[in-house]
Copies of this chain bind each other. A is one copy, B any other.
Amino acid sequence: MEEIYVEYISEPKLTDPILIEGLPGVGNVGKLAAEHLIDKLKAKKFANIYSRFFPPQVLVGKDGVVRLVSNELFFVKKNKNNQTDIIFLVGDYQGLTPEGQYEISMKILEIAEKFNIKKIFTLGGYGLGRMVEKARVLGAATNPELVKEMKEHGVIFQEGEPGSGIVGASGLLLGLGKIQNIEGVCLMGETSGYFADPKSAQAVLGILTKILDVTIDYSELESKATQIEKITAHIQDLDTLPEKTQDDLRYIG
């Protein structure tokens, strides 16, 4: 097995697909958003990605069956509901080391080239370290035209935000993609960073679906948000969280 092994379940024929990335990160915003969209658009899994840069670990399903931790690729073809073929990148983990993250993102871009992908949307959370009333969606893009286009869709571009840049796959796919002339946008939903945040995921999807011109139902995300709110309602004072935890939560976007 190579350092990164892509196990194809099928090899879909796609026409100029876009790539949407939603790997685990701050508030799991990107992951929640991408998985919801996969579910609603009935996208199909076509590849597993295994790598020694992931944790050395299997996950155990409800049925007691193990599977190696992985990233996964799904696809959906253009249809009445959505205007373009789409490939989704989701998964259990990002690479454990900086070098591993570079390697995995470069492998994803190899796949992007194979499928002739010309545009990438990376989804993530933007951790504020405080409770968020109404999550705005911040953006960053690989060229000024895309910035302008995204602004028209309601994405916020605010000077100096995110000040520390975008760390992890959401950043690397854009940065490395840009070198290879693949354009891309990162959409970041504001979130406290303390909990999984389905509301922020919904905010990100609100923008993304406008861009993609699709309409989807949000009831599962809304019900997840209600659950999280119940769990967190009794937490009065977030400032009592250890500082290190707060920092960690802001780290990978």
Contact = CB atoms under 8 A, between A and B. Distances in A.
B52 A102 contact: yes
A186 B179 CA distance: 33
A97 B96 CA distance: 10
A106 B1 CA distance: 7
A141 B105 contact: no
Interface stretch (A56-64, A78-86, A199-207): A56-64
A64 B165 contact: no
A1 B55 contact: no
Interface in A161-175: 161-162, 165-168, 171-172, 174-175
A69 B60 CA distance: 31
Contacts of A55: 98, 167
A167 B140 CA distance: 35
A176 interface: yes
A162 B58 CA distance: 10
- Of the four ranges (under 10, 10 to 19, 20 to 34, 35 or more), the interface on chain A belongs to 35 or more
Nearest to A63: B144
| Copies of this chain, whole number | 4
A139 interface: yes
Contact of A67 (B5, B58, B175): B175
B165 A57 contact: yes
19 contacts: A50-B179, A53-B98, A55-B98, A55-B167, A56-B171, A56-B172, A57-B167, A58-B172, A60-B140, A63-B157, A64-B141, A64-B147, A64-B157, A65-B144, A65-B147, A66-B141, A66-B142, A68-B175, A68-B179
Q: When A and B form their complex, which 5 residue pairs have the shortest distance between CB atoms, in order from nearest?
A: A68-B175, A52-B102, A64-B157, A56-B101, A58-B175
Given A58-B171, A59-B165, A66-B174, 18 more contacts: A1-B176, A1-B179, A52-B99, A56-B98, A56-B102, A56-B171, A57-B172, A57-B175, A58-B165, A62-B160, A64-B140, A64-B141, A64-B157, A66-B142, A66-B165, A66-B166, A66-B175, A96-B98
